[in-house]
Amino acid sequence: MGAGAHPLYRHDESAVHRTPAEVKIVCLLVFVLAVVATPREMFWPFAIYAAIIVATWRLARIPLRWVLPRMLIEAPFLVLAVLLPFAEGGQRIEVAGLQLSVTGLWAAWGIVIKGTLGVAAALTLAATTSATELPAALSRLAVPAVVTSVLVLMIRYIDLLAAEVSRMRMARIARGDSPRALHQARAIATGIGALFLRSYERGERVYAAMLSRGFDGKAPDLAVIGAPPRAAASQWVVAMLPAAVAVAVSVAAWVTL
Amino acid sequence: MYPDGHVALDGIDLEIAAGERVAVLGPNGAGKTTLMLHLNGVLTATTGSIQISGIPLDRKSLHDIRRRVGLVFQDPDDQLFVPTVAQDVAFGPANFGLRGEELAARVANALAVVSLTGDAERSPTHLSAGQRRRAALATVLACQPDILVLDEPSANLDPVARRELAETLAGLDATMLIVTHDLPYAAQLCDRAVIMDGGVIVADGAITDILSDSELLAAHRLELPWGFSVQGR
């Protein structure tokens, strides 16, 4: 595992992995906007979007059994969608003995399909882009240095923080605390306070160390050091294809509506 | 002086010649780390002054002095704050105005000195404690300081990592201040030692004289580890 591997990253050397991150970010953004802008009272545009994503997965060698369980992250958001056909008013149809609202059904369909496509597309970016590529990509997309610095610090210290949490947990269990999460609620609550203090103190030490190396409030653009080269024009053209197709589909959907 | 009125340093008078290697010894809470943070102006003394290479430390000279005085902190995780080692090593020199090729060369050079060339693109999280310590040293060496101040450099290192770090340090020709209570390590690397206790300097002399004075050491909660004795070098 190299630097910047995160739980949603799937290491490989595919063409999608090699595509510069800044292109993938823009492609994802445009793709998701196109999906969201599509009128929900139709099916064929969404079938094409899904096909684009599945094709990208094939290209990135991401197996379905790897990506599908990770898509469960959207499950909580679907609860609302399930309620809509019952809650909405207007014309009703009977399905399996249930009186369902037609507008509610369309609304639920819209949420489910757009949400699922969005999560699937975002997971594709996450699975093929390591965390260390992100700051350089964002700084090339003209995101301010303050924002990329915050991101850089977060990537660096999140593991350290997680390790600290697990050490504190081990120390509690070693002193006879119940290993069950619910029983630990009280200890966890006090532990968070201690963790905050430790992180705060670390922040001060990190800042002192930064000052010592000449930091004066202006973050130098470190993201570009050791970063892969900028995307070439040809890479932009190729990698933006899925987004371009999605935009075309979205426009076509509105025209044929 | 701390906000609660506690005085950490109380009248320090210390002069260090260029090229000297001085061990700053003392028990926990003696003010060693506080002294270190004064040397490049991270902390400012209530009274008194600091001169580095003849330049008085003030607001105008601060940036220059921070380049001249390199601080290596005790916990490498405090020092290494970006996702890759190379980016971290570049942080200092970039702050001091280096860009492009020059910056890359400086980074490569500093990593070579600490034998971490192959680990440039790795995350500090995935390095061993010894590698992390040497990476932290590289981040400071890349600024090409005249004076190197190290806080507990041997803490938490296994014996081999400890020796490797000593070899790296022995090969550097910067003026060196090593803040530690690892007395054998100080004896290995330094010629002169000062003992701090209660915010003042209580002894200053050749390291062999200081370390062979067991009464002096005992008076300030210091002692050589079991089985050690110091001979003249």
In a domain, B113, yes or no: yes
Using the Cβ of A6 and the Cβ atoms of chain B, whether some distance falls under 8 Å is answered with: no
Check CB contact under 8 Å for A213 and B95: yes
Check: CB of residue A219 under 8 Å from CB of residue A146.
Answer: yes
Contact residues on chain A for B126, CB-CB shorter than 8 A: 1, 3
CB atoms within 10 A of CB A121: 23
Q: Please tell me the distance from the alpha carbon of residue A250 to that of residue A36, in angstroms, as a whole number.
A: 9
Check CB contact under 8 Å for B79 and A156: no
Of B75, B77, B82, the CB nearest to A152: B82
Any idea what the CATH number is for the domain that residue B181 is in? 3.40.50.300
Q: Please tell me the distance from the alpha carbon of residue B203 to that of residue A253, in angstroms, as a whole number.
A: 85
Check CB contact under 8 Å for B66 and A135: no
Check CB contact under 8 Å for B121 and A2: yes
In a domain, B127, yes or no: yes
Using the Cβ of A9 and the Cβ atoms of chain B, whether some distance falls under 8 Å is answered with: no
Check CB contact under 8 Å for B94 and A220: yes
Contact residues on chain A for B96, CB-CB shorter than 8 A: 214
Written as six digits, the tokens of B82 are: 């970006």
Using the Cβ of A65 and the Cβ atoms of chain B, whether some distance falls under 8 Å is answered with: no
The mean pLDDT value of chain A amounts to 84
Q: Between B221 and A100, name the one with better pLDDT.
A: B221
- Asked whether residue A240 carries a pLDDT value surpassing 70, the answer given is yes
Q: Please tell me the distance from the alpha carbon of residue B152 to that of residue A38, in angstroms, as a whole number.
A: 62
Residue A198 pLDDT: 87
Residue A1 pLDDT: 39
Check: CB of residue B58 under 8 Å from CB of residue B92.
Answer: no
Amino acid identity of A232? A
pLDDT, tens only, B210-226 = 999 889 999 988 888 88
pLDDT, tens only, B119-135 = 988 888 889 989 999 99
Q: What is the domain extent for residue B37?
A: 21-219
Check CB contact under 8 Å for A4 and B80: no
Contact residues on chain B for A137, CB-CB shorter than 8 A: none
**Judged by CB atoms within 8 Å, which residues 78-97 of A form the interface with B?**
none
Q: From the CA of B196, how many Å to the nearest CA of chain A?
A: 22
Check CB contact under 8 Å for A215 and B95: yes
Q: Please tell me the distance from the alpha carbon of residue A203 to that of residue B197, in angstroms, as a whole number.
A: 28
**Judged by CB atoms within 8 Å, which residues 17-46 of A form the interface with B?**
none
What average pLDDT does the segment B98-109 reach? 88
- Asked whether residue A59 carries a pLDDT value surpassing 70, the answer given is yes
Check CB contact under 8 Å for B82 and A222: yes
pTM of the prediction?
0.76
pLDDT band at A97 (very low <50, low <70, confident <90, very high): confident
What average pLDDT does the segment B23-47 reach? 87
Q: From the CA of A187, how many Å to the nearest CA of chain B?
A: 26
Q: From the CA of A212, how many Å to the nearest CA of chain B?
A: 6
Q: Please tell me the distance from the alpha carbon of residue A112 to that of residue B112, in angstroms, as a whole number.
A: 54
How many domains, in total, are found in chain B?
1
CB atoms within 10 A of CB A211: 19
Q: Please tell me the distance from the alpha carbon of residue B114 to that of residue B120, in angstroms, as a whole number.
A: 11
For residue A205, which of B42, B131, B41 has the smallest C-alpha distance? B42
For residue A208, the chain B residue with the least C-alpha distance is B42
Using the Cβ of B60 and the Cβ atoms of chain A, whether some distance falls under 8 Å is answered with: no
A102-128 helix and A75-87 helix, angle to the nearest 10 degrees:
170
DSSP string, A175-216: TT---STGGGHHHHHHHHHHHHHHHHHHHHHHHHHHHHTT--
Strands B175-180 and B21-25, by their bridges, are parallel
In a domain, B69, yes or no: yes
- Asked whether residue B11 carries a pLDDT value surpassing 60, the answer given is yes
In a domain, B4, yes or no: no
Q: From the CA of B32, how many Å to the nearest CA of chain A?
A: 15
DSSP secondary structure letter of residue A96: T
Contact residues on chain A for B63, CB-CB shorter than 8 A: 214, 216
